[in-house]
Amino acid sequence: MEFGRRVILAVGVLVVVIAVSFLIDTVVWEAYLQNSASSDPLLHTATVDYQDFRHGPQSWRPYATPLAIGPGNLPSGNWYLAFVELGAVPVGGNPALSRTGSVQVDYRFTDLAGTASFCVYGLRAGDGRAWTNRQSGYGTCGYYVSGTAAPGDPPRWASPLQEGDRYVVEIADPLRPVDDDLPRDTRTFWFERVGSGLDGLHITTDPADRRGRVAETDDLEGSFYVTYSGGNVVGSLFLMVAVDQPQPEGFELRLESRFVEDHR
pLDDT at 174 (0 to 100): 64
Residue 91 CA to residue 237 CA, distance in Å, equals 11
Residue 17: pLDDT band by 50, 70, 90 thresholds?
A: very low
Determine the length of the chain. 264
pLDDT of residue 232 exceeding 90, the answer is no
Mean pLDDT on 195-215: 92
Instruction: With a cut of 60, say whether residue 26 has pLDDT above it.
Output: no
Task: Look up residue 212 and give its DSSP letter.
Answer: -
Question: Is residue 23 predicted with pLDDT exceeding 90?
Answer: no
Quick: pLDDT tens for 95-147. 666 789 999 999 999 999 999 999 999 999 888 899 999 998 889 999 999 99
Domain ranges of the chain: 1-35, 42-261
pLDDT level of residue 75 (50, 70, 90 thresholds): very high
Cα separation, 29 vs 12, in Å, equals 26
Instruction: Label residue 44 by pLDDT band (50, 70, 90).
Output: very high
Residue 29 has pLDDT above 50, yes or no: no
Least confident of 22-26, 46-50, 117-121, 170-174: 22-26
The answer to which of 31-40, 46-55, 83-92, 240-249 has the lowest mean pLDDT is 31-40
Region 150-174 average pLDDT: 94
Average pLDDT over residues 166-170: 96
At residue 231, φ and ψ (nearest 5 deg) are -105, -10
Report whether 219 contacts 112 (CB < 8 A).
Answer: no
Q: How far apart are the two ends of the chain, measured CA to CA in Å?
A: 49
- The per-residue pLDDT for 28 is 42
For 7, residues 6+ apart whose C-beta sits below 8 A from its C-beta are: none
E strand intervals along the chain: 44-49, 55-58, 60-61, 67-68, 79-85, 101-110, 113-124, 130-132, 142-148, 166-170, 186-190, 201-204, 214-217, 221-228, 234-243, 252-261
Going by pLDDT thresholds of 50, 70 and 90, the confidence category of residue 210 is confident
Burial class (CB in 10 A: 0-12, 13-18, 19+), 119: buried
Q: What is the mean pLDDT of residues 225-247?
A: 95
Whether this prediction's pTM lies above 0.95 is answered by no
- Say whether pLDDT at 203 is over 70: yes
Residue 65, amino acid: T
CA proximity to 226, closest of 141, 123, 103: 103
In whole numbers, what is the pLDDT of the chain averaged over residues?
85
Cα separations in angstroms, 225 against 21, 44, 62, 180, 251? 32, 14, 21, 32, 23
Q: Give the H/E segment covering residue 5.
A: helix 2-35
Flag whether pLDDT at 177 surpasses 60.
no
Q: In sequence order, which residues have a C-beta less than 8 Å from that of residue 171 and are 6 or more positions away? A: 83, 84, 85, 184, 185, 186, 187, 238
Residue 3 — pLDDT band, cuts 50, 70, 90?
low
Q: How far is CA 125 from the centre of its chain?
A: 13
Average pLDDT of the residues in 158-168 = 96
